[in-house]
Amino acid sequence: MRYKLLDGPYGNCVFQFQKKEAYIPANIWYVGWERQTKASYRWNGETRTDSENTFIFQYTTKGKGAIRVGEAVYSLPKGKAFLVKVPGDHEYWLPEGSAEWEFLFITLVGESAESCWAEFADRNGPVAAIPEESELVRLLRQINQEALNDEISDIYIASCKAYNFVMALHRYGKGLTEAKDKVPEHMKKAARLIEKKLGEPLSLTDLAEEAGLSKYYFIQLFQQYFHETPIQYMTKKRMERSMERLSNSDLPIKEIANLSGYESANYFSKVFKKEIGESPKEFRERTRDRQFTRVFLE
| 98 belongs to a structural domain | yes
The reply to whether 89 and 218 lie within a common domain is no
CB-based burial of residue 15 (10 Å sphere; 0-12 exposed, 13-18 middle, 19+ buried)?
A: buried
The reply to whether 31 and 126 lie within a common domain is yes
| 296 belongs to a structural domain | no
The model scores a pTM over 0.75:
no
Residues whose CB falls within 8 Å of the CB of residue 117, separated by 6 or more in sequence, listed in order: 55, 83, 84, 85
The reply to whether 8 and 42 lie within a common domain is yes
pLDDT, position 172: 81
**Alpha-carbon span 13 to 155, nearest angstrom:** 14
| 153 belongs to a structural domain | yes
pLDDT, position 288: 73
Give the strand pairing for 27-36 and 101-109.
antiparallel
Q: What is the CA radius of gyration of the chain?
A: 24
CATH of the domain at 78: 2.60.120.280
Give residue 282's domain range.
181-287
Domain closes at, from 133, 153, 173? 173
**Alpha-carbon span 174 to 191, nearest angstrom:** 19
**Alpha-carbon span 140 to 83, nearest angstrom:** 13
pLDDT, position 21: 47
| 295 belongs to a structural domain | no
The reply to whether 157 and 79 lie within a common domain is yes
The reply to whether 219 and 167 lie within a common domain is no
The reply to whether 227 and 150 lie within a common domain is no
| 266 belongs to a structural domain | yes
List residues bridging with 82 in a β-sheet: 58, 127
| 293 belongs to a structural domain | no
Cis peptide before 77 (omega within 30 of 0): no
**Alpha-carbon span 81 to 103, nearest angstrom:** 9
The reply to whether 17 and 134 lie within a common domain is yes
**Alpha-carbon span 118 to 179, nearest angstrom:** 25
Domain closes at, from 144, 173, 202? 173
The reply to whether 159 and 189 lie within a common domain is no
User: In the chain, which residues have pLDDT < 70?
Assistant: 1-23, 51, 175-181, 289-298
Query: Do the Cβ atoms of 165 and 139 come closer than 8 Å?
Result: yes
The reply to whether 116 and 52 lie within a common domain is yes
Residues whose CB falls within 8 Å of the CB of residue 98, separated by 6 or more in sequence, listed in order: 63, 64, 65, 66
Q: How far is CA 273 from CA 268, 269, 277, 278, 283, in A?
A: 9, 6, 5, 5, 9
Q: Is 90 left (phi over 0), alpha (psi -120 to 50) or beta?
A: beta
The reply to whether 185 and 169 lie within a common domain is no
| 15 belongs to a structural domain | yes
**Alpha-carbon span 191 to 230, nearest angstrom:** 8
CATH of the domain at 228: 1.10.10.60
Residues whose CB falls within 8 Å of the CB of residue 229, separated by 6 or more in sequence, listed in order: 219, 222, 223
pLDDT, position 177: 61
Query: Do the Cβ atoms of 165 and 104 come closer than 8 Å?
Result: no
The reply to whether 187 and 205 lie within a common domain is yes
Query: Do the Cβ atoms of 271 and 241 come closer than 8 Å?
Result: no
The reply to whether 142 and 272 lie within a common domain is no
**How many distinct structural domains can be found in the chain?**
2
pLDDT, position 291: 59
User: What confidence tens digit (pLDDT) does each residue in 262-297 have?
Assistant: 989 999 999 999 988 899 999 888 877 665 555 556
Domain closes at, from 173, 189, 205? 173
